[in-house]
Structure formats: C-alpha cells, structure tokens
A = this chain, B = another copy of it.
C-alpha cells in the first residue's frame, strides 16, 4: 500500500494553519482535534490506538529510521500527511529547533460508566493550570492509574501545554468530564472510597488506609476542595507541612499522595 505524502511549502496551507490554530481553545473545541509534538509522542498515540487526523514532518529527517517507522504506521488513507520544512514547523510550535514531527489527533473523552472497574482514579476539582494537569496525568500513568475525572470547569487536557507536560501519558489515560453531583452519585453507587486532600484535615496521608477502589480527590490550585465536596468525602487527608510554606504545588501534592497510595499497595504491578 502506498502512503500519499503531500509537499507543503506555504505557511498558509490549510493543514499548517489548522495545526497552528490548535493553540486556541476555541479551535480545539470546534474541530475536536489537538496537536501532539514530536515523533515519540505521535508514535505513542498511534500505538495505543488514538485516531490521527494529520501528520506533518520535516523533509530533513525523512530518512531516519524512527521517522520511516512512524510513516509506516500511517497506512490509514484518512490520515493526511504533509512534508514540510523546519521553518513551517517552527511557525506551528513557536519554538526554535522545533520537533521534526507534528501530529493532529482527534480528542478522546471517556465517561463514568467506562471506568467503573478502576482501582485507582484521580478526580480534580476545577484545575486551572494545564502544566499541572499534564504533569498529574503523567504521574498517574506512572503508578498504573488509568483514569482521571475533571470536575466542573477544568483547563483543557488537550491544550498544547498540557499535552507536552504529559510526555505521552495522555494517550494511556481515560479522561472523563463530569459535574460534581453526577460524580458523587456515581461514586457512591459504585462503592468507591473518596479520599480528599485538605489543609484542614486531621489525618496524615500515611496514617489513612487507601486500599482498593480509591478515588483521590484534589482541589483547585487557589482554593482547595470546595466545602460541600469535602463533606462528601469518605476520608480527608492532609500532607504534613513544615516551616513558612503553607501549601504544595497541586501536581506535587497529587504525586506524593499517589505514591503513598501505591506504597500502601506494595507498589503492586511495578516494572521490574
């Protein structure tokens, strides 16, 4: 089977304009697409079955084995493939020495029913910072978690910054958006243990049993978990603090909590 590659030389080419436009939330919402940068990331997405809309790559690297491999993975005739120059790639990613590959993928959201059997879930209430969100997805993947729930208005997991921060883990994690009420009904019906982190909590994370079917709930960067939501938690934990610092970065607090949960499970399933 032959892969059709189009040579693109104009920065005004519609595919190039689309790749650039995916910087903006509005364009991502209207098209349902997002941008993933770098051969490794695009390969990761294809390997786990995400649907690719288009691929742009630098003609300068076409002969490299990993680029040949990547192109060979793009057999689906629906995938538009364009050979571009580095200047065009830099105009898309706004970076000097841009990645040599840009993929345009279809966004994929999951739903609560699809993650009913999960053993470890992170739920974030109104996260604001896409770098934090991406880093949390990366860390969740690192402990074997496969699902994240974004409660109410959250920053976009498919923004360029969030995608970059996931370092490929985006493609391994199911992302669910849910209103709080629906989420609470669902978690109660399905016998999850909802563990919220709160500076007002009394129990240390290491002194609280976080066994199977735990949902780790993290509040917003500025205000933490909403009071009503905290009241609905089965457990509230706090991370100890010392000195003048009064809180941890959201992604750090989530990472410490996730590794504590996994420690309590004897790092079950870890890579050798």
Contact = CB atoms under 8 A, between A and B. Distances in A.
A94 B159 CA distance: 21
A85 B213 CA distance: 53
Given A141-B245, A167-B245, A245-B141, A240 B267 contact: yes
Nearest to A135: B249
A165 interface: yes
Interface stretch (A54-62, A100-108, A181-189, A250-258): A250-258
B240 A271 contact: yes
A242 B143 contact: yes
A141 B243 contact: yes
Nearest to A165: B249
A142 B267 CA distance: 25
A74 to B, nearest CB: 20
Contact of A259 (B168, B249, B256, B270): B256
Given A206-B263, A262-B240, A267-B204, A245 B138 contact: yes
Contacts of A203: none
A64 interface: no
A147 interface: no
A242 B270 contact: yes
A204 B48 CA distance: 29
A126 B270 CA distance: 29
A200 interface: no
Interface string A118-150: 000000000000010001001101111000000
Interface in A182-231: 204, 206
Contacts of A252: 135, 138-139, 251-252, 255
Contacts of A169: 244-245
Contacts of A165: 249
A131 B134 CA distance: 14
Contacts of A206: 263
Contacts of A245: 138, 141-142, 167-169, 172
Contacts of A255: 248-249, 252, 255-256
Contacts of A1: none
Leading 8 A-B pairs by shortest Cβ distance: A144-B242, A240-B270, A252-B255, A141-B245, A142-B245, A240-B267, A256-B259, A135-B249
15 contacts: A135-B249, A135-B252, A142-B241, A142-B245, A142-B248, A144-B242, A165-B249, A167-B245, A169-B244, A172-B244, A204-B267, A242-B262, A251-B251, A255-B256, A256-B256
